Amino acid sequence: MSAGEELLAARRIVVKVGSSSVSGENAGQIATLVGSLARLYTAGAEVILVSSGAIATGVPFLRLEERPDDLATQQAAAAVGQNILVNRYQRALSSHDIIAGQVLLTAHDMENPTHRDNARRALERLLQLGTLPIINENDTVATHEIRFGDNDRLAALVARLIGADQLVLLSDVDALYTAPPTTVGARRIERVPYGDELQGIQIGEAQSGWGTGGARTKVEAARLATDAGTAVLLTETRLLPAVLDGADHGTRFAAAG
């Protein structure tokens, strides 16, 4: 069965998209991404989107030229950008008659049993009501010491929290390679069996100026999800429609059990 067939047959899916895929000159990809989410939704899946991009979206509206280094300005950019980002998603979703529900989480929410149960209950109810929850880290109140560090980990924790069948990690890289993709001789890794430690594989860090993760964080997130029985697909945002059509793109991580 192809990755696309597995996704279209899934009961519950978490899709994570990185900042560089939905902000700046790539903000136009939101409509394409939402088209794929709507296709999964129409096929009968419960879909949750974990979206980065609040800070990157807010920066130009604050007339800043680059990502701020200080926490206070990052929080301000997130406050402005989150509003604009979700509005863009809702405009795209409205053409498919889908309503979004915004959920902002901190690392503390996932570590505290009471907060975690509240988050699970809210997400379950949003799904029951037919909405498409859009989750992001609550950058406006999170501090450097208590952040998830990247939304790949957050997406994996959400997948575990709600018992997702599939986790899709989308970025500006089409797959996991045996070395950084620009390295001569690097080969795409099509499948990673459960428990494979990927010995000898050179796993790189984030390359864009906006995202906080890279291939390493995605592999760590994939392991976190697969340990809980969630299969993982890592691929490029613009390739998701082709994957749903049956194309062989990305890297698939097998789940435990």
Q: 20 a known binding residue?
A: no
Q: 218 a known binding residue?
A: no
Side-chain-side CA neighbours of residue 28 (13 Å): 1
Tokens matching residue 34 = 């939402």
CA–centroid distance for 114 within its chain:
24
- CB neighbours of 114 closer than 8 A, spacing ≥ 6? none
CA–centroid distance for 77 within its chain:
20
Q: 174 a known binding residue?
A: no
Euclidean distance between CA atoms 90 and 83, whole angstroms: 11
Q: 171 a known binding residue?
A: yes
Which residues are annotated binding-site positions for ATP? 16, 171-172
Which residues are annotated binding-site positions for substrate? 52, 139, 151
Which residues are annotated binding-site positions? 16, 52, 139, 151, 171-172
